Amino acid sequence: MCGRFTLTYRDMERFAVEFGVALTDTDRKCYRPRYNIAPTDEHWLVRGRLEERELLSGRWGLVNEWSSDAKRAARQINARAETVDRSHAFRAAFKTRRCVVPADGYFEWMGPKNARQPFWFHREDGGLLFLAGLYECWFTEPEAPQTTFTILTTDANRVVEPVHDRMPVLLDAGSVDEWIFTPETHRARLHALLTPAPDDAVVATPVNPRVNSVRYDDPECLAVAPGALL
């Protein structure tokens, strides 16, 4: 599962360069570092458009085009890689609306409900994570489309497994275009990308339980928790 994540880059230009996408003045004005992105929050995604990568914003929690309301959004923040092409909720998006969600870490928890310890999984060098996703355009009104997205998950690797049995699908930089642009008829190529990341892809850092509450979204969320080890 992936239920919270981060994108803490202070400079939007930095991740735009890493993704190879153009920015608008509106993008720059809307951007801010995020330390605790939660379901139904607005975030960024990268999709394919006319053989180029395009950056746009969307709400986390996929709402199907045919939905009459957004009640299922919070339950569709993740899609299982193993069944994504057969799932009623995700199979249409898998065919033609694949995207990548930029992040630089995500959270998982361990311990009892009254003392949950969060762990931040991130690259050791602080670089971007390319999360495999799907998106939909849902019309809240006939003239007002709302972009929504989900993040794909797969089995945990050996670093993540002590905390959770699932992890987001982490693409390497060279696989971004393959995920976005490969025709759905080449399912074997697509499914080959939906595997657990190598064990050295992320490290686990125990962080401030402040992040347990969606009310907090600040650098203190990532303060290292002393004495909390895997």
- Residues identified as active-site: 2, 108
Residue with tokens 């605790």: 36
Residue with tokens 């303060």: 223
Structure tokens at 61: 């929690």
Could you tell me how many helices (H) and strands (E) the chain has, helices first? 5, 13
Residue with tokens 């002590």: 162
Phi/psi for 213 (5° steps) reads -100, 130
Residue with tokens 């994570």: 129
Structure tokens at 84: 């994504």
Structure tokens at 37: 């992105």
With contact defined as beta carbons under 8 Å apart, do 60 and 77 qualify?
A: yes
Question: Quick one: CA torsion of 93, 97, 102, 105, rounded to 10 degrees?
Answer: 20
Task: Identify which of 215, 219, 204, 216 has the alpha carbon closest to the alpha carbon of residue 108.
Answer: 204
Task: Identify which of 217, 179, 229 has the alpha carbon closest to the alpha carbon of residue 32.
Answer: 217
Phi/psi for 212 (5° steps) reads -60, -25
